[in-house]
Structure 1
Amino acid sequence: MPATPAPTLGELGETTATPKVDFAAATTPYAAYAGIDTLHGLLNPLSKEPAETTFIVATQVMELLFGLVRHEWTRAQQALRADDLPAATAALRRGLDAQGVLVDSWELLASMTPVEFASFRPVLGEASGFQSYTFLHLEFMIGNKHERLLRLYAGSPEVHADLRRTLEAPSLYDDAVAFMERRGIDVSSPVAAWLSVYADPKQRDLCELAELLMDVAERVTRWRQRHLASVKRCMGAKPGTGGSSGLSWLRHAAEQDVFPDLWAVRDAL
């Protein structure tokens, strides 16, 4: 039998619930709520290379996700400081989802050829991803702290002050260890402390925290590795636009363990 065509809105009649399509405002509630007009207005390629649009979208998506991860890690830290472990683990899990999308966002750039990237690279000038202040917040929050990077925002007092607060505050890992100490665990040797957690069935919730932190660490490393692979593919070993050594700088970052104490536990278990 031939397929029956779907009914039109008119054929559905007045008794069938249909989406509202008439609004008195200049835009829809959806566009207003999410700032859609502003969001699309930020897409402004500077060259005629079609691939630049993909590059800009990938960059903007990553920035939004950096902000989301920071939001969740901040909530996790606040919860740990308030001795609310369930809230902390819930925030970390939400952050893991955002981190997973961050890793996958490199797929947007996976098909960019060296010729395509080279055709618009000059319009970047000295712009480089490591200059992202949201990204710097994340690096400081995982304990990768370098005060000299604050100089990037010496001309922006509010951003500079915000970054300094994150730089000088305890890291996510620091807050986890402090929580353990308040639980009565001797943290004079953090590796030994984590070993005792894994060995004690009564500390199952702390073991879960440790595994969530390992998930965070692993996703940071995956993101760095994908960054390295993407740069190697689209521009080879050329120096970075921001003055870095390019591949060697990214390779060094990808090889650094996040939360090394927790990795060291693996050797002793």
Structure 2
Amino acid sequence: MTRQGAPHPDAPEQAHTDFTRSLSYGDYLQLDILKSAHQPVTAAHDEHLFIAVHHVSEVWLELIIRELRAAMTQLEGGITDAPLKGLTRVVRAQEQLTNAWEVLKTMTPADYLQFRHAFGQASGFQSAAYRHVEFLLGNRHAVLLKPHEHRPEVYGPLQADLLAPSVYDLTLRLLSARGLAIPSEVLARDLTLPPVLNEDVLAAWLQVYRDPEHYWDLYELAEKLLDVEDNFRRWRFNHMTTVERTIGFKRGSGGTSGAAYLRRALGTVLFPELWEIRTRL
């Protein structure tokens, strides 16, 4: 108490407690709606963990999509410094996604088998948010749209991302606009296909990396893109090891070969020239 008998300004009694006419924490975040989505279909204890980890992961994926789109809009406008903030936020969110696997790894195979049968063919392979992230980063295969054909409101935006330039396509267009020699066939490539290493593009990046002071903004952008792909690989690796220690090499619920499919996916390279340049410098 203060000398005058009034509560100390730091006392909990000073906190606002009447929310009849204003938003509370729970109201603002719509926690009732959020919690209502947590609906296990069995009595298995670890199904709660399984759902929680996937719910949280979907929220982080949505944030990553938002930040990637913002950065890509800036790149399309020729801006190179502002996208670094958004891409840094993507990297931090990716770290949270990767750490989520560590929580899920506390679930043993026996725990998982208590409820695995209950969700049938549902699988993270069908995550539209994850597919958006892949498409925005340039990992593209039209067949990956098929699990979403039954939902036009999901299929349409995914198809749009498949047909639009990726973050790396926009970066290469920026290099071209800055006078670096990016081949016309690369700038006009089939955007529905994943990128492949191009020697002329590699030569352009070598020019940047051999004179970073002159091309500092492009050099810094390239390194930030590597951060994004590095974390993308870590997420995939943790996903694979989590699956291996939970179900071994059984087929995945979504119909893929499970851990074997994920292991093969580890070979995906999003920004091939940015990795190859380390060898060529």
TM-score normalised to structure 1 length? 0.92
Letter in 1 for 2:260: S
User: 193, 202, 223: which is aligned to 2:214?
Assistant: 202
Q: Report the counterpart of residue 3 of structure 1 in structure 2.
A: none
1:58 aligns with 2:53: yes
Distance 1:89 1:187 in 2: 22
Distance 2:62 2:8 in 1: 44
1:23 aligns with 2:35: no
Please identify, of 238-247 and 88-97, the stretch whose mean Cα deviation from structure 2 is larger: 88-97
Distance 1:232 1:193 in 2: 40
Q: Report the counterpart of residue 77 of structure 1 in structure 2.
A: 72
Contact 1:221/1:258, CA 8 A, preserved across alignment: no
For the aligned residue pairs, the C-alpha RMSD in angstroms reads 1.6
**Cα displacement (A) at 1:28:** 4.9
The correspondence of residues 40-59 of structure 1 with structure 2, limited to 5 A, is: 40-59=35-54
Letter in 2 for 1:160: Y
Letter in 2 for 1:254: L
Distance 1:28 1:140 in 2: 37
**Cα displacement (A) at 1:258:** 2.4
1:68 aligns with 2:63: yes
Contact 1:73/1:92, CA 8 A, preserved across alignment: yes
1:187 aligns with 2:182: yes
Distance 2:74 2:19 in 1: 42
Deviations, residues 144-187 of structure 1 (Å, cap 9, x unaligned): 11111222121211211101100000011101111111111112
1:100 aligns with 2:95: yes
Distance 1:77 1:63 in 2: 21
The correspondence of residues 114-193 of structure 1 with structure 2, limited to 5 A, is: 114-188=109-183, 189-193=200-204
Contact 1:96/1:216, CA 8 A, preserved across alignment: yes
Identity of aligned residues (%): 37
Distance 1:227 1:149 in 2: 18
TM-score normalised to structure 2 length? 0.88
**Cα displacement (A) at 1:84:** 1.4
Report the count of equivalent residues. Answer: 259
| 5+ residue gaps, structure 1 | 1-6
Please identify, of 39-48 and 28-37, the stretch whose mean Cα deviation from structure 2 is larger: 28-37
Q: After TM superposition, where is structure 1 displaced by more than 4 Å over at least 4 residues in a row?
A: none
Please identify, of 252-261 and 166-175, the stretch whose mean Cα deviation from structure 2 is larger: 252-261
Letter in 1 for 2:15: P
